[in-house]
């Protein structure tokens, strides 16, 4: 298994670089001059030229790519055009907030989806199943932006249980949890809707297996049958789905962070794309890609724990 993990980790390098190259060339091929954007219309051309030289934008694009790669292997991700500060520093300052939000949203999503999916499967085609399915579809269909504003209006304005926006003192403090609640629910709920459907389908398939029938015929209570025999064997699609939805969660975080003034990567990245701040965009893309690949690796690892028949070779 160690060899497998090492091989996957080594594979991470070309994938990350491939994504980085796409982002590098994609950003540069898009119309727009970052120096003109930040300097405004009144700046004189000689000053603009100086800034372009400072950032190496006066060089051919392939030379720029070579310099960027060479700096990258030395741990230099480049400096932001807009602020002059190392991009890695800017991204690092924000990544914790985004991870805090996405991981919490993921936990909310998984918890809700397992509970609701199980309830729906156990009560297949009954009223409870229909109610759960309806809710799952409803959450899945709600745009994050709208859902966020509705939750804010309801739970922060009409009944002020949570703060309207912002991030609390620290993740572990009561204040931090209160601030995190609404953004995390907003991000996690649509995902829970989709995943609950998968859990339900997977449970129903497992429930029709012979060994489940055997368990029931042995006289085991339904609770034991479901939690001990069915649930664990239904987890594989859930793990796959979770790993696949992670990039969507990062994408959704951009909107949720804007709605709740959450100081994560989303606002930084959005501004960077509009300002053509290459270094920030590339650094954020590298880090998010690495995180997504690592989460997929974690999913592979979880497969082998969940189902001992799966070996990582």
Partner 1 sequence: MVGNRFGKAVSLALLVSMLAFGIGFAQATDNTLVIAWGGTDTFDTYRSAFAAPLFVFSMVHDTLFAFDQELKPQPVLVESWELAEDELKWSFKLKEGISFHDGTPFNAAELEAYLEGSFFEKSFTGWMFANVEDLVVTGEYSIDFVLSAPTPLLIYNLAYPWNIIQPQGAIDEWGEAYGYDALVGTGPFAFDEWVQGEKVVLKRNDDYTHGPDFVQNKGPAHIEQIILREISESATQVNELRFGDVDYLGVPSSQLEAVLGDENLTVGAVPSYTSTFVVINHGQPWMQDWRMRAAVNHAIDRVSLIEAGWFGAADVSYSIVTPASFGYWPGMADWGKEILNYDPLNAARLLYETGWVLPAGKTVREKDGEKLSIKLITFNFYQTYGEILTAMLAELGFEVELFPFEYGSFYSVIQEGDWHVFLGGWIDQSGFGTLQSNVTSAGIAGGTNNSGYGNAALDALVELMNTTTDPVIREQASAAAQQKVVSDLYYIPVVVPLNYVAIVTDRVGGFDLLNAHPWRLGLIRALDLYIK
Within 8 A by CB and 6+ apart from 257, the residues are 97, 98, 101, 183, 263, 264, 265, 266, 267
Tokens of 270: 């959005």
Q: Does 80 bind partner 1 (CB under 8 A)?
A: yes
Q: Does 170 bind partner 1 (CB under 8 A)?
A: no
CB of 210 to partner 1, least distance (A): 44
Q: What value, to the nearest 5°, has the Cα angle with vertex 66 and ends 64 and 69? A: 110
One of 261, 305, 310, 311 touching partner 1 (CB under 8 A)? 261
Q: Does 100 bind partner 1 (CB under 8 A)?
A: no
**For the window 37-56, what string marks contact with partner 1 as x by the rule CB under 8 A?**
xxxxxxxxx-x---------
Q: What value, to the nearest 5°, has the Cα angle with vertex 23 and ends 17 and 27? A: 150
Q: Alpha-carbon distance 193 to 178, whole Å?
A: 23
Tokens of 156: 């922060």
What φ, ψ does residue 86 adopt, rounded to 5°? -55, 130
Complex with partner 1: residue 117 or 144, whichever CB lies closer: 144
CB of 275 to partner 1, least distance (A): 7
Complex with partner 1: residue 233 or 283, whichever CB lies closer: 283
Complex with partner 1: residue 16 or 285, whichever CB lies closer: 285
Q: Does 232 bind partner 1 (CB under 8 A)?
A: no
CB of 130 to partner 1, least distance (A): 25
Q: Does 164 bind partner 1 (CB under 8 A)?
A: yes
Rg (CA), the chain: 24
Cross-strand partners of 86 = 79
Q: Does 264 bind partner 1 (CB under 8 A)?
A: yes
**Count, residues near partner 1 per rule CB under 8 A:** 54
Q: Is 220 exposed, middle or buried (0-12, 13-18, 19+ CB in 10 A)?
A: middle
One of 2, 10, 30, 73 touching partner 1 (CB under 8 A)? 30
Q: Does 26 bind partner 1 (CB under 8 A)?
A: no
Complex with partner 1: residue 160 or 219, whichever CB lies closer: 160
Q: Alpha-carbon distance 211 to 189, whole Å?
A: 33
Helices (H), 123-208: 127-141, 144-152, 174-207
Contact 260, 105 (CB under 8 A): no
Q: Does 79 bind partner 1 (CB under 8 A)?
A: yes
One of 23, 151, 156, 286 touching partner 1 (CB under 8 A)? 156
Q: Which residues bind partner 1 (CB under 8 A)?
A: 30-34, 36-45, 47, 79-85, 90, 93-94, 97, 149, 152-153, 156-157, 160-167, 178, 258-261, 263-264, 267-268, 271, 274-277
């Amino acid at each position: 298994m160690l060899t497998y993990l090492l091989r996957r980790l080594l594979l991470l390098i070309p994938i990350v670089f491939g994504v980085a190259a796409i982002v590098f060339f994609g950003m540069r091929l898009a119309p727009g001059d970052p120096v003109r954007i930040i300097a405004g219309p009144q700046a004189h051309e000689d000053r603009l030229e100086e800034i372009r030289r400072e950032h190496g934008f006066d060089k051919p694009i392939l030379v720029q790519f070579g310099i960027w790669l060479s700096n990258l292997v030395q741990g230099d991700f480049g400096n932001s055009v807009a602020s002059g500060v190392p991009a890695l520093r800017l991204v690092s300052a924000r990544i914790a907030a985004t991870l805090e939000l996405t991981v919490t949203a993921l936990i909310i999503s998984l918890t809700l989806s397992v509970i609701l999916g199980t309830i729906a499967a156990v009560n297949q085609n009954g009223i409870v199943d229909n109610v759960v399915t309806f809710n799952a579809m409803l959450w899945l269909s709600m745009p994050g932006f709208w859902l966020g504003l509705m939750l804010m209006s309801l739970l922060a304005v009409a009944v002020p249980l949570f703060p309207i926006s912002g991030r609390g003192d620290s993740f572990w403090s009561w204040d931090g949890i209160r601030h995190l609640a609404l953004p995390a629910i907003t991000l996690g709920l649509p995902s829970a809707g989709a995943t609950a459907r998968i859990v339900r389908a997977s449970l129903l398939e497992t429930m029709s297996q012979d060994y489940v029938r055997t368990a029931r015929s042995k006289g085991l209570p339904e609770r034991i049958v479901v939690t001990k025999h069915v649930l664990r064997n239904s987890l594989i699609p859930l793990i796959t789905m979770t790993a696949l939805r992670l990039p969507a969660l990062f994408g959704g975080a951009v909107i949720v962070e804007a709605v709740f003034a959450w100081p994560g990567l989303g606002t930084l990245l959005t501004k960077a794309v509009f300002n053509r701040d290459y270094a920030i965009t590339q650094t954020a893309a590298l880090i998010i890609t690495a995180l997504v690949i690592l989460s997929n690796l974690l999913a592979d690892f979880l497969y082998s724990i969940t189902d001992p028949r799966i070996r990582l070779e």
